[in-house]
Chain A
Amino acid sequence: MTETVSTELEKAAYREAVKTGIPTLFGVGAWGLVVGVAMIKAGLTVPQALGMTLLVFAGSAQLASLPLIAAHAPVWVVFLTALVVNLRFVIFSAILAPHFSYLPWKKRAWLGYLSGDISVGLFMYRYPEPGFDQRKLPYLKGLIFPNWTAWQVGSIIGILLGSQVPSSWGLGFAGTLAILCIMLPLIMNKAALIGVAVAGAIALATVKMPYKLGLLISVLAGMTVAMAVEEWLEKRHGKSGGQKDGQGRA
Chain B
Amino acid sequence: MSDMEVWIVISLLAVATFIARSSFWLVGQHINLPKRVQEALRYAPACALAAIILPDIILTNAEVDLAISNPRLVAGIAASAFFLVKRNMLMTIFFGMAVYTYIRLGL
Q: Indicate if the CB atoms of A195 and B76 lie closer than 8 Å.
A: no
In the assembled complex, which residues on chain A have CB atoms less than 8 Å from the CB atom of B11? Answer: 55
In the assembled complex, which residues on chain B have CB atoms less than 8 Å from the CB atom of A91? Answer: 33, 38, 41-42
Interface residue? A204 (CB, 8 A): yes
Interface residue? A34 (CB, 8 A): yes
Q: Indicate if the CB atoms of B17 and A173 lie closer than 8 Å.
A: no
Number of interface residues of A (CB under 8 A): 93
Query: Given that A72-B1, A174-B97 are known contacts, is A27 also in contact with B90, CB under 8 Å in the complex?
Result: yes
Interface residue? A115 (CB, 8 A): yes
Q: Indicate if the CB atoms of A58 and B13 lie closer than 8 Å.
A: yes
Q: Indicate if the CB atoms of B12 and A79 lie closer than 8 Å.
A: yes
Total inter-chain residue pairs, C-beta < 8 Å: 272
Interface size class of B (residues with CB under 8 A): 35 or more
Stretch in contact with the other chain, from A3-11, A12-20, A215-223:
A215-223
| Chief secondary structure at chain B's binding surface | helix
The complex places the Cα of A94 from the Cα of B55 at a distance, in Å, of 33
The complex places the Cα of A90 from the Cα of B22 at a distance, in Å, of 8
In the assembled complex, which residues on chain B have CB atoms less than 8 Å from the CB atom of A51? Answer: 7, 10
Contact with B along A98-115 (1 / 0, CB 8 A): 101100010011111111
Which residues in B have some Cβ–Cβ distance to A below 8 Å? 1, 3, 5-31, 33, 36, 38-59, 62, 64, 72, 75-76, 79-80, 83-84, 89-90, 92-93, 96-97, 100-101, 104
Which residues in A have some Cβ–Cβ distance to B below 8 Å? 27, 30-31, 34, 44-45, 48, 51-52, 55-58, 60-62, 64-65, 67, 69, 72, 75, 78-79, 81-94, 96-98, 100-101, 105, 108-116, 130, 169-171, 173-174, 176-184, 186-188, 191-192, 195-200, 202-204, 207-208, 214-215, 218-219, 222-223, 226-227, 230
